[in-house]
Amino acid sequence: MIEIQDFFDIDENGIPIQKPINRVAFTKADIAYKVKVIQAMQKLGMTVTIDKIGNICGTFAGKTRPDKSIICGSHTDSVDNGGQFDGPLGVFAALKTAEKITQSGKQNDVNYKAVVYACEESTRFEGKACLGSKYLRGDDLDFDAIQSRDGLSLREIVENYKKELDEALEKAGCDPLVEVDKVVTQDEIVTALEGHIEQSDELRKSGKNIGICTSISAPYRLKADITDIPTAANFICKLKEDAQNPENLTKYRVTVPEFSILSNTKTDLKDKKLLALRCHGENNHSGSTPMNERKDAVYGTAKFIELLGDEPTIQFLQTNTPNWGANQINSCCELLLEMDKNPSPAVRQRLLQAQKQASKMANVTFERIPEITEHDKKSGLFVDVRQQLGMNPKLSCDMIFETIKDIVHKTKCNSYMNITAKGEPYITNLDLIQSATGICETQQIPYKIMPSWPGHDLATLTKNLDARTLLLFCDSTGGSHNVEEATTLDAIKKLVTVESTLAMQELERANQLYTAPQKVEYEDVIR
């Protein structure tokens, strides 16, 4: 039996335990979890394969059409200090579906594949997410050029990962994995499903258990080199405040996870003093967290700077975001400024008012610190725009260009932009939406039709236009990329019920579609 306690920490009362998970892609922690998944696949009788980038797949081979597959899966890697269900819940649902197939006693004509996509989170490789599913899609990934935050190439990391995984599997008594080029090919995908926790509290607040996703947002990301701190602060504030306009709330969400600038201003401390501040917010997922519910330390720092930008006795020397992630609302931003040793009462009052106003607008707090963290001179601004239907890369580019154009024109500051991602919002399959709705209604499971603001492997997996895809959520609390993330055993059970039932329906549909007798035309008989 596939038991939930074998994959998640559950207390004696059947309540999932909240604790930080650090299962960064390709690390020993990620390997240890994958061994548990592989053990379960092999016990179910699945053939387990691994491909060039480290995607793992358990397969029940099709009887007559092994070139066609129904796919379920997700990822096992996490962000730093994430929650335990973000990703692995979809892998667990895929395993439970496999178990249901074995219990049915039927060998299907097409494959069933349970897939663990490699490196979904961008934590290991800053700004680069869903590497496993992009590889399966056919993206030309440069294994030598893609560098991790610890200075290793993707090639080096994957080679070491496979070696350590082989050793861990041998120690656990598992069979060795079969090496393939890709665990899934584009032409074989008939249907692909992914289960996940819902990454904000929208389902829980609405009293619904299941989210059936009509679309999945895609990131437009860029690195900006702006050397003037007040100019950068104005840019951040304008981006944030424009995104909160009612006409933009359903189109996009914008986050600046990184705000690290070293000013070119020459510092003469005669009659001056340095003041170092740290702004505290709360880490959360840049896609899933609505603009008005954020505790954004970067925006708080930028607003503080903007409110003081015209004060001649203050010079802003340095900003820094020591621990930033490409899809994270940042919980910490530091600021170093220079001011008069004995500031006037008016300046003191401006500082206090700016702190109070920025704290209120960004829902953050400030503290004085002895010094700020050592700065990486290569840093700058990193901008993450979560595009939903109604936006696309061109519109995002135009929006950012128009935002920065007037600001840099006024300040005469140069700005350079390097685009790192420009995905298109992804639309899921209407037939599957209707099928999932029918399952929920038959099972009396409350559901909600909704978009997904975070990205997912499912949205990058396929360029096969004939493939049917659907993302399913179960209700949760605490958001995503957050140690407070939590769900319930009842919610998990309902997600598994809906996903496994849908997968079984799709297997039956594929059996009929790909093994139907071929129609013989009259002229063929004559010939």
Q: What is the DSSP string of 270-307?
A: TTEEEEEEEEE---EETTTS-GGG---HHHHHHHHHHH
Same domain assignment for residues 276 and 129: no
Q: Are residues 121 and 198 in the same domain?
A: yes
42 or 272, which is more confident: 42
Task: Summarize pLDDT for 264-273 with one digit per residue, the tens.
Answer: 766 676 788 9
What's the confidence (pLDDT) of residue 416?
Answer: 86
The boundaries of the domain holding residue 226 are 218-422
Question: What pLDDT, on the 0 to 100 scale, is given for residue 520?
Answer: 47
Same domain, 194 and 248: no
Q: Does any domain span residue 370?
A: yes
On the question of pLDDT at 198 being above 50, the answer is: yes
Q: Which of 122-131, 161-170, 203-212 has the lowest mean pLDDT?
A: 122-131
Residues 289 and 299 in one domain: yes
pLDDT of the residue at 48: 98
Question: What pLDDT does 515 receive?
Answer: 80
Q: Which long-range contacts (CB under 8 A, 24 or more apart) does 399-406 make?
A: 399/242, 399/252, 400/222, 400/239, 403/235, 403/238, 403/239, 403/242, 404/224, 404/235
CATH of the domain at 243: 3.30.70.360
* CB-based contact 73:136 (threshold 8 Å): no
Mean pLDDT in residue range 228-245: 95
Q: Average the pLDDT over each of 41-50, 163-172, 473-482, 493-502 and give the range with the smallest value.
A: 473-482
Residue 525 has pLDDT above 50, yes or no: no
* Residues 122 and 164 placed together within one structural domain of the fold: yes
In a domain, 524, yes or no: no
pLDDT of residue 457: 96
**pLDDT tens, position by position, 372-426:** 887 666 678 999 999 999 999 999 999 999 998 888 777 778 788 899 888 899 9
As given in the structure block, the two tokens for residue 526 are 């004559």
Task: Give the pLDDT of residue 523.
Answer: 52
Tokens 């358990």 belong to residue:
58
Among 402, 422, 442, the domain-final residue is: 422
User: Given 399, 422, 445, which residue is the final one in a domain?
Assistant: 422
Is 275 within the bounds of a domain? yes
pLDDT tens digits, one per residue of 455-510:
999 999 999 999 999 999 999 998 888 888 999 999 999 999 999 999 999 999 99
**Quick one: pLDDT at residue 270?**
77
Mean pLDDT of 439-447: 98
Structure tokens of 282? 């709360």
pLDDT above 90 covers a percentage of the chain that reads: 80
Q: Does 261 share its domain with 128? A: no
Looking at 370, 391, 422, the residue that finishes a domain is 422
Q: How many residues does the chain have?
A: 527
**For residue 517, pLDDT beyond 60:** no
Q: Is residue 418 a part of any domain in this protein? A: yes
Contacting residues for 15 by C-beta, under 8 A, at least 6 apart: 488, 489
> Does residue 520 sit within a domain?
no
pLDDT (0 to 100) of residue 376: 64
Global confidence as pTM: 0.88
Q: Which of 23-27, 148-152, 242-246, 300-304 has the lowest mean pLDDT?
A: 148-152
- Cα 294 to Cα 285: distance, rounded to the nearest angstrom: 10
349 and 377, same domain (yes or no): yes
Domains contained in the chain, number = 2
Assess if residue 44 is contained within a domain. yes
On whether both 152 and 65 belong to a single domain, the answer is: yes
Same-domain pairing of 368 and 453: no
Residue pLDDT, tens place only, 362-374: 999 999 999 988 7
Q: Which of 521, 494, 502, 509 is nearest to 204 (CA)?
A: 494
Q: Is residue 125 part of a domain?
A: yes
Average pLDDT, stretch 146-156? 94
CATH number at 146 reads 3.40.630.10
User: Both 416 and 433 in a single domain?
Assistant: no
Distance, CA of 131 to CA of 121 (rounded, Å): 8
pLDDT, average across residues 60-84? 95
The rounded mean pLDDT for the chain is 93
**What band does 527 get if pLDDT is binned at 50, 70 and 90?**
very low
At residue 153, does pLDDT exceed 50? yes
Q: Which of 347, 314, 321, 356 is nearest to 335 (CA)?
A: 321
Write down the pLDDT at residue 411.
Answer: 74
Residues 205 and 277 in one domain: no
Please answer whether residues 240 and 299 qualify as being in contact, where contact means their C-beta atoms are separated by less than 8 angstroms.
yes
Measure the CA dihedral 452/458/461/462, to 10°: -80
Domain-embedded: residue 319: yes
Give me the mean pLDDT over the 108-124 stretch: 96
> Are 190 and 299 contained in the same domain?
no
Confidence category of residue 84, pLDDT binned at 50, 70, 90:
very high
pLDDT beyond 60 at 519: no
**pLDDT for the residue numbered 249:** 93
